[in-house]
Structure 1
Amino acid sequence: MIKEALQFFSHHLKRNTSPHSTTLNKYLHCLSRSSCSDLSLKLLLYFISKGYTPHPFSVNSVISYLCNLGHLNSAQNLANSLFRLGFSLDIVTYTALIDGHLRNSDVANACLTMKEIVCNDNIVPDVVTFNVLFRRFSKDGMVKELLAYMSLMWKVCMPNDVTYCNLIDMYCKMGDLDMGLRVFKDMTKGGVLPKFLVFTSLIDAYCRVGDLEVAFNLYKDMHACSVLPNVVTYVALIDGFCKQGMLQRAEHLFRKMLKDGLLPNSVVYTLIIDGHFKRGNVDRALEYLSEMLARGIRLDIVTYGALIQGLCAGNKLESAVEVKEHMVKNRLAPDNIIFSTLMRAYFKAGNLKAALDEYKESLAQGFEPDIVTLTTLIDGLCKHGHLNEAKGHFSKSKANEVVYSALIDGMCKEGEFSQVQMLCKDMAEAGIVPDKYIYTSWIAGLCKQGDLVEAFRLKNKMIKEGIIPDLLTYSSLIFGLTNKGLMIEAKQVFNDMLEKGITPDYVVYDILVRGYTVQDDTVRISQLQDEMTKRGLIKETTDVDIRKL
């Protein structure tokens, strides 16, 4: 068709003849819709100069082409020139200009163009024009503007499914799901049948906030409205159920998806594999991996990451390393998340050298250490007694509360409390407030050093700042007091902990027992033994001496 159009124009240009207007318009429109839009524009201007009156299709095709290129001034000038020549612009022309302005993020001029339409008695905006505006308003969260133009829309035309989709999508992105659902119900009451995008937008939004029952009911409504869900719909639902640990329902949807004739992609398999790993179902996760490979679905970076993370969490570090090697053989480079996961696993396994090798490899691959990597590195080095090396990797500009917490915990274990105070000052200057974990590490370190006055001062300070001490905080204070032989005070702190509704564990009882053992207070030991038995922390027996536990 393009070749035919080019031959047509070549023939008339060579002979300087005027082609029939219908045929001319047909071929101009053909060129505009193809890769020859620039030529179409030149030909249109040439024939206009020869007195030719273009068809609206041709004009609108060229104006749309200019708008798509971002040449709004040229498109507007062409429209103005045609108007002066007596050519009547129609709603399609104005809609193209509005769309062009919005593509350039020029909402103000798009609205001015819409105002021109409204003020023009010869042109009435249609639902397409409004939907072009609504799509942008929805994307930018411009609620007032969308509702204002919606009021105008009702005066000239009825909203369609695309209109409602834009409105629902906006409310979903804003997190106002009640309004989104309300619009959905108004839509169905008004006789507008919701289509795939409306359902999927709502389902995805409800899955993200964890309201799976509403999401699943919408999924059932889809079938009732004869709207078939696709892979995107199933991904949203399966993701939601996996995150809630509801793997049976996720697998039920997976089977339903297959029954509907939809082929699962790598995203679907990765969600279920990751879900099983997080529930500790390593074998089941690997079964889905085998099924995924049998279907010829390639593993992507996200799937590899889920496998490595799941295997590391299941203490299968060797298998995780094999997965990384398989990944590299398939010419897929690990990302920072994978390197950090393996670093953490090596640190946990006590293999400091391998952990640092992973870090060095990530740097060699060109990755800049992010917060996760820095936290993993600093925490691992501190726990392996390499505090000075951990300090060397600390960066104020990159640090957040988690990085500070890891380094402070290491310093507290080494008794470097003056540096802890300096770090806390740096945190305050950066606008970061010390959290419960930082205070507890600090208190535990002070108690270990025997500085109980400072430990209790910090405990009072954290309470004053609205941070509630937890079991570990109280256990640290009780440990410090028992080490000093202050058993009356230790028991008072223990009772205070109980009054605060904190449930004691075996460790805190053991601290008290050891303290009373030093004082040979068998009565207190027996009382604690009875309490532990009632709480199910030790088996009920008369033959066991708790001092030997």
Structure 2
Amino acid sequence: MALPSPRMAQAGRRQVPAPSIYTYNILIDCCHRACRPDLGPAFFGRLLNTGITMSVITYISLFKCLCDMKRTEEALNVLLHRMPDDLPNVISYSVILKSFCDSGRSQLALDLLQMMAKKGADHSPDAMSYNIVIDGFFKEGEVSKACDLFHEMMQQGVVPDMATYNSVIDALCKARAMDKAEVVLRSMVHNGVQPDVVTYNSLIQGYSTLGQLKEVARLLKVMRSQGVMPSVVTYNSLMDYLCKHGRIKEAEEILDSMAVNGRKPDLILYYAPWVRYRRIPC
């Protein structure tokens, strides 16, 4: 048997580099992404024993694993009492805010949000933080609390973004508070945020539910004037209302206008009450 060359022997004696903070960050993040969050704290424990200085990314990955396992209070305890004071940022707080809201505990998220504001500029909540809690309250049916937080957000000088406005407008439309939704829409435009197709879909759905088709026609006209093309969702909302109320001729006109605008009916439309009145070729 041939002996290994000196170069091969030298390569065999080469030491493998010790894991760095980047190695551990990747490992802990992979535990979250691979749906094995239980392994994240184990890697974090091994990291503690190495004496390697941790980064904010390390803690964010740990928080994601703990929140995946419904151990949000434990993640909060680490954030408030074990994480070095100079490390927490808005993202690390937002992971925990979202976990509270996803589990139907938006009031706890609000408490943490207010705590962030008191801690100073480095921890001040941003639009994303507010969006998480506002959306959480809406999902829990707490429309009043969500709207109050929306106004508080603006009073604190945090500028709402597209996600904020769309969330608030959609919830108000579902609550049939169209006058309030229109106020928010005007505020949105005033602050330089251009409504998109999602914004208009919420409004059209709201007015369709109330049977105010003149307002729907007005919104469609405004959409086109602003270069926002109606989506299949827009047409579905209109045709669903028209078919349920026996206004078949108008529904046919909407269907024809879809073809003109290059929109094809989707499966929702095929299974809508429309099929009771007219056959659509598959």
Q: TM-score range by the shorter chain?
A: 0.7 to 0.9
2:183 to 322, 334, 342: 322
- Structure 1 residues 237, 157: closer, same or farther in 2, change over 3 A? same
Shift of 1:369: 3.5
- Structure 1 residues 218, 247: closer, same or farther in 2, change over 3 A? closer
Shift of 1:225: 4.5
Matched, 1:305 2:169: no
The two structures have a TM-score, normalised by structure 2, of 0.80
CA distance in 2, matches of 1:328, 1:120: 71
The correspondence of residues 106-505 of structure 1 with structure 2, limited to 5 A, is 155-192=15-52, 194-204=54-64, 207=67, 211-213=69-71, 215-222=72-79, 223-226=81-84, 228-261=87-120, 262-384=123-245, 385=247, 386-393=250-257, 398-406=264-272, 409-412=273-276, 414=277, 416=278, 419=279, 423=281, 426=282
2:3 corresponds to: none
Shift of 1:398: 4.7
CA distance in 1, matches of 2:62, 2:39: 11
- Structure 1 residues 243, 372: closer, same or farther in 2, change over 3 A? farther
The correspondence of residues 26-175 of structure 1 with structure 2, limited to 5 A, is 155-175=15-35
CA distance in 2, matches of 1:401, 1:119: 63
Kept in 1: contact 2:66–2:75 (CA 8 A): no
The two structures have a TM-score, normalised by structure 1, of 0.44
1:229 counterpart SS class: coil
1:245-298 CA distance string (max 9 Å, x none)? 212211221133234332111222222222223333333223222322222222
How many residues end up aligned between the 2 structures?
Answer: 266
Shift of 1:169: 2.1
Shift of 1:397: 7.3
1:129-180 CA distance string (max 9 Å, x none)? xxxxxxxxxxxxxxxxxxxxxxx9x943211212110222234233333344
Shift of 1:191: 4.2
- Structure 1 residues 257, 375: closer, same or farther in 2, change over 3 A? same
Shift of 1:190: 4.1
Shift of 1:379: 2.1
1:22-77 CA distance string (max 9 Å, x none)? xxxxxxxxxxxxxxxxxxxxxxxxxxxxxxxxxxxxxxxxxxxxxxxxxxxxxxxx
Kept in 2: contact 1:172–1:201 (CA 8 A): yes
CA distance in 1, matches of 2:44, 2:257: 53
Kept in 2: contact 1:203–1:216 (CA 8 A): no
1:408-459 CA distance string (max 9 Å, x none)? x2222x3x4xx2xx55xx2xxxxxxxxxxxxxxxxxxxxxxxxxxxxxxxxx
Kept in 2: contact 1:343–1:355 (CA 8 A): yes
- Structure 1 residues 163, 321: closer, same or farther in 2, change over 3 A? same
CA RMSD, Structure 1 to Structure 2 (Å) = 3.1
CA distance in 1, matches of 2:152, 2:66: 29
1:369-398 CA distance string (max 9 Å, x none)? 334333323323333423312432556975
Kept in 1: contact 2:38–2:65 (CA 8 A): no
Kept in 1: contact 2:40–2:65 (CA 8 A): no
Larger Rg: 1
CA distance in 1, matches of 2:49, 2:232: 50
CA distance in 1, matches of 2:236, 2:103: 27
Identity of aligned residues (%): 29
CA distance in 2, matches of 1:403, 1:383: 13
The correspondence of residues 525-544 of structure 1 with structure 2, limited to 5 A, is none
1:212 counterpart SS class: coil
2:271 counterpart SS class: helix
Kept in 2: contact 1:277–1:311 (CA 8 A): no
Letter paired with 2:252: N
Letter paired with 1:219: L
- Structure 1 residues 330, 378: closer, same or farther in 2, change over 3 A? same
Letter paired with 1:200: I
Shift of 1:343: 0.3
- Structure 1 residues 366, 174: closer, same or farther in 2, change over 3 A? farther
Instruction: Note the residue ranges of structure 2 that are not aligned, 5 or more in a row.
Output: 1-6
CA distance in 2, matches of 1:183, 1:375: 49
